[in-house]
Structure 1
């Protein structure tokens, strides 16, 4: 027997099976129960929201011999004939292919004939906006005063294209997009009744991509069942859609928040190598940043984000790291890039340029870019540079910053009990570690992520001590795995020319490897503070 698509197998047979259109269904059922049935209806709404399905259920219900609470009984002779499509009392017309005056004249001549079995003859005209102007004019009189046994149901996705004279002759019902939770519930029910196991996260992904269309959701589920068999995971859905997994999107968003352009370029390269669709990925990324913005600006954003509990917790943690200005600007730039990509032959380049613009607001003179720069500067100033109202000279401020950087290095040396030679050794260690990180970043970028914040000291016994901050114990344990530790030892050997052993430790506070970087960052922060606030309002003081 030939296979029938899921959206056709599970087309609603009663009003109770129609999902997400409660107000419309309630009105139609009450009209049937009270016998207040109109002669013309207009069902309008986006694709896959149940317009045609509701029209067919309504046609059954008005002709049913034994209706139950406004629903067709599905057991009487009329219902059974209508279900198998053999009834002559329901005529479905595709206006896209029957849009001329002649077809409407033929319809007008046939409406005078009474129904064969039921009480009403129902004409369902789908995509009615495709009718020509002459066809609309030919339909006007019949639509206004049809025979008592005739009901017209017009369905369209573009009601604004209908003449006002048609709209005024119909009862209009707007079919809204179906909520993601309703789609997930319906998909779970169908999957259970068909014997297919689908992950909850996969159902949410399908619902999100369906964009309020139940038909699109069922079609996508059908594809995923064909891909994964009777067990469908979220990875199967992502593979069918051609987009990246959620962990990858979180990592990209993290680099956008931190402004790591280099890492973003590597991630785009990985995206292309995996054969993912850039435009599809961009839609997911925009949706992800939108969710972060919702959590950032709303007191309780859980109701506005259709995700699982664990995913929502991850969203909340990431949103705390981001500024509202950065998120708004990123969404605006990425939305503009998405529009450009539809006509671009180089979507990858468009994506990369958009990411650079997001992470380099100082290269733009727009107001939103300036606000992003100020927000970032405020976050950096909270890390150690204090701004007070005073009037030093510009040169004095810059000299103070350089003096502070030098004093900071000597203070570290004194605390460790080292003399001047040891301080020089620390600088040499920093240069060695910078070269080692460069090698690791090119060959094992995942390990680079674990190591980029740790400190590095090479002692006289040939032992490389890697000191991790106390909150990075997971990173330390990952490096301590034999294969990872051997790779790091080989990378150090390539730089210094001799074998070493790696030993990992946890330390309180920040790792020592960030000191040289912090010094240069302090100087850069002071430069930016002077440029933005003016030299008369910036003074450098110790914490």
Structure 2
């Protein structure tokens, strides 16, 4: 007899063997016991969660000659015939390859004939979302009012692709992904039956990589058994999966935490030369940082308790080297690296440069140029407050303070925390521009980079543009764009700031206004009998 894959050999044959779908199993058993079978069912959920297996058990149970507690006996003539595909009362149809109107017309013709041996004629249509629009329309009438001896069971992994007209005609069940503990428990049972020597770390790794799908986990286990029969170790599983050893993940994270870019580059080179998949490395590292994030929050999520205690302790210890916000920022940056690698001819270079950037210290902010400020009025007019005798200022003498004022184009930042916030926003603005580029908004990025953060006014960041870039300022002055920029700025700085666009005046006009403001201050501070303003010709 030919070899059977584990997922086929261990396919559930009664409802109690279906894992992780308790409410679905109980509902179907109750319907069978009460003989209240619906005419159409829709099973949805990710791959490998038991949709087709449950459909086959249900098909046998409603046709079984000697059912017990809602389960098929699997020994009567009908059950054995269905299990061996010799009874034509249960038809399994793959909608991916039989998705045309003609195939549905054949079904419409065949439903007219009664079952041969069983009580019901059952049509199991797998991946039903692959049917064409015309095929769905052809199925509607039959699905709504089928003959009393016909039951339809539709299965899909993409529920959103099913037309509402079909959904409304079916009894729907959503198969949830299995937990890591449920998959691990099933793997332990299978390994014991195969008399295999396996360690806990290996089973945990296989269960995690199943990603909620028992069939995927069994396929991985099958491959591991073929690689090293009789023994299942963590090292064997890592080798089969092409994954990265968790010790190397901890080592890489330590280099990032302690800002050792050279060590990161060396470790990347080592893994690259060993033939490791660099995209897989990045995926594993992102998962590792997710565990760090949960450890920093003390969140006991699914899978945490199943980890070895030593690994949990190491995660908690390593998470202490980061702030929670820093971990989330690392994950976001790694996601950006992953996205850029997908479309690059040199993904390793992008990964290397991105990881080195993660491990490099943050660049020191360049000192901002001091803003020109108007000197206090008393000091400005101090030489004028001590006239000699009754002499009046020469009528042709220009005001002393006015020429000394440097023209300014922007308001000076407020004191204290506002100055710190202004410095932070200026420092992070290049990061905002880079994120705009990564978001594929080239036109916005090209216009926004011509502006500069000139001030913080309460909860508003002022983005200034000079006169020659007035077009850019006007184009960006839209609520949706300003909201988008505000959101990016919040992501980078952690501060909720609205964006205000401001067109700066040219130097000549600004200097003239400063001169007028200074003259007004002089008029307020100096008695009129000792001050004379002479207009420049």
The TM-score, its normalising length taken from structure 1, stands at 0.65
Task: Report the counterpart of residue 191 of structure 2 in structure 1.
Answer: 191
Equivalents in 1 of 2:23, 2:339: separation in Å?
A: 35
Task: Report the counterpart of residue 139 of structure 1 in structure 2.
Answer: 139
Give, in angstroms, the shift of residue 168 of structure 1. Answer: 0.3
Q: Does 1:166 align with 2:166?
A: yes
**1:340-489 mapped onto 2 (5 Å cutoff):** 340-360=340-360, 362-363=362-363
Name the SS for the 2:155 alignment partner. Answer: strand
Equivalents in 2 of 1:67, 1:244: separation in Å?
A: 49
Task: Report the counterpart of residue 415 of structure 1 in structure 2.
Answer: none
Q: Does 1:39 align with 2:35?
A: no
Give, in angstroms, the shift of residue 58 of structure 1. Answer: 0.6
What are the Cα deviations for residues 148-174 of structure 1, in whole angstroms up to 9, with x where unaligned? 110000001111111110000001111
Task: Report the counterpart of residue 5 of structure 1 in structure 2.
Answer: 5
> Which structure has the larger Rg?
2
- Quick one: structure 1 residues 143 and 12, their matched pair in 2 at CA, closer, same or farther if it must change by over 3 Å? same
Name the SS for the 2:56 alignment partner. Answer: helix
Equivalents in 1 of 2:310, 2:120: separation in Å?
A: 53
- Quick one: structure 1 residues 203 and 303, their matched pair in 2 at CA, closer, same or farther if it must change by over 3 Å? closer
Give, in angstroms, the shift of residue 199 of structure 1. Answer: 1.7
Asked if structure 2 preserves the Cα contact closer than 8 Å seen for 1:261 and 1:356, the reply is yes
Name the SS for the 1:42 alignment partner. Answer: strand
Give, in angstroms, the shift of residue 210 of structure 1. Answer: 1.4
Give, in angstroms, the shift of residue 298 of structure 1. Answer: 2.8
Task: Report the counterpart of residue 154 of structure 1 in structure 2.
Answer: 154
Asked if structure 1 preserves the Cα contact closer than 8 Å seen for 2:181 and 2:303, the reply is no
Give, in angstroms, the shift of residue 322 of structure 1. Answer: 2.1
What are the Cα deviations for residues 240-267 of structure 1, in whole angstroms up to 9, with x where unaligned? 1112211111111111111111111111
Consecutive aligned runs of 4 or more in structure 1 exceeding 6 Å deviation: none
Give, in angstroms, the shift of residue 343 of structure 1. Answer: 2.7
Asked if structure 1 preserves the Cα contact closer than 8 Å seen for 2:262 and 2:356, the reply is no
Equivalents in 2 of 1:364, 1:191: separation in Å?
A: 56
**Alignment RMSD, CA only?**
1.9
* Structure 2 unmatched ranges of 5 or more: 366-415, 417-537
1 or 2, which has the higher helix percentage?
1
**1:230-379 mapped onto 2 (5 Å cutoff):** 230-298=230-298, 300=300, 304=304, 306-360=306-360, 362-363=362-363
Name the SS for the 2:177 alignment partner. Answer: coil
Asked if structure 2 preserves the Cα contact closer than 8 Å seen for 1:294 and 1:304, the reply is no
Name the SS for the 2:362 alignment partner. Answer: helix
- Quick one: structure 1 residues 70 and 162, their matched pair in 2 at CA, closer, same or farther if it must change by over 3 Å? same
Asked if structure 1 preserves the Cα contact closer than 8 Å seen for 2:49 and 2:213, the reply is yes
Give, in angstroms, the shift of residue 196 of structure 1. Answer: 2.0
Task: Report the counterpart of residue 87 of structure 1 in structure 2.
Answer: 87
Give, in angstroms, the shift of residue 274 of structure 1. Answer: 1.4
- Quick one: structure 1 residues 302 and 3, their matched pair in 2 at CA, closer, same or farther if it must change by over 3 Å? closer
What are the Cα deviations for residues 362-416 of structure 1, in whole angstroms up to 9, with x where unaligned? 2499xxxxxxxxxxxxxxxxxxxxxxxx9xxxxxxxxxxxxxxxxxxxxxxxxxx
Equivalents in 2 of 1:364, 1:8: separation in Å?
A: 60
Give, in angstroms, the shift of residue 209 of structure 1. Answer: 1.3
Give, in angstroms, the shift of residue 220 of structure 1. Answer: 0.7
Equivalents in 2 of 1:299, 1:47: separation in Å?
A: 28
Asked if structure 2 preserves the Cα contact closer than 8 Å seen for 1:295 and 1:301, the reply is no
Asked if structure 2 preserves the Cα contact closer than 8 Å seen for 1:44 and 1:159, the reply is yes
Task: Report the counterpart of residue 201 of structure 2 in structure 1.
Answer: 201
Task: Report the counterpart of residue 78 of structure 2 in structure 1.
Answer: 78
Task: Report the counterpart of residue 211 of structure 2 in structure 1.
Answer: 211
**1:54-65 mapped onto 2 (5 Å cutoff):** 54-65=54-65
Asked if structure 2 preserves the Cα contact closer than 8 Å seen for 1:129 and 1:158, the reply is yes
Equivalents in 1 of 2:128, 2:301: separation in Å?
A: 40
Give, in angstroms, the shift of residue 300 of structure 1. Answer: 4.6
Equivalents in 1 of 2:24, 2:347: separation in Å?
A: 42
- Quick one: structure 1 residues 364 and 94, their matched pair in 2 at CA, closer, same or farther if it must change by over 3 Å? farther
Equivalents in 2 of 1:313, 1:23: separation in Å?
A: 36
What are the Cα deviations for residues 179-219 of structure 1, in whole angstroms up to 9, with x where unaligned? 11100000111111122222211111111111111111111
- Quick one: structure 1 residues 127 and 303, their matched pair in 2 at CA, closer, same or farther if it must change by over 3 Å? closer
Equivalents in 2 of 1:204, 1:364: separation in Å?
A: 44
Task: Report the counterpart of residue 507 of structure 1 in structure 2.
Answer: none
Task: Report the counterpart of residue 515 of structure 1 in structure 2.
Answer: none
- Quick one: structure 1 residues 108 and 361, their matched pair in 2 at CA, closer, same or farther if it must change by over 3 Å? farther
Equivalents in 1 of 2:21, 2:96: separation in Å?
A: 26
Asked if structure 2 preserves the Cα contact closer than 8 Å seen for 1:302 and 1:312, the reply is no
What are the Cα deviations for residues 226-285 of structure 1, in whole angstroms up to 9, with x where unaligned? 111110111111111112211111111111111111111111011112111111111111
- Quick one: structure 1 residues 182 and 302, their matched pair in 2 at CA, closer, same or farther if it must change by over 3 Å? closer
Give, in angstroms, the shift of residue 291 of structure 1. Answer: 0.4
Equivalents in 1 of 2:302, 2:184: separation in Å?
A: 17
Equivalents in 1 of 2:262, 2:157: separation in Å?
A: 45
Name the SS for the 1:65 alignment partner. Answer: coil
Equivalents in 2 of 1:284, 1:67: separation in Å?
A: 47
Asked if structure 2 preserves the Cα contact closer than 8 Å seen for 1:45 and 1:158, the reply is yes
Give, in angstroms, the shift of residue 80 of structure 1. Answer: 1.2
Equivalents in 2 of 1:116, 1:271: separation in Å?
A: 61
Equivalents in 1 of 2:36, 2:92: separation in Å?
A: 23
- My pick for the range that moved more, 150-159 or 203-212, is 203-212
Task: Report the counterpart of residue 498 of structure 2 in structure 1.
Answer: none
Equivalents in 2 of 1:346, 1:306: separation in Å?
A: 38
Asked if structure 2 preserves the Cα contact closer than 8 Å seen for 1:55 and 1:153, the reply is yes
Equivalents in 2 of 1:150, 1:95: separation in Å?
A: 18
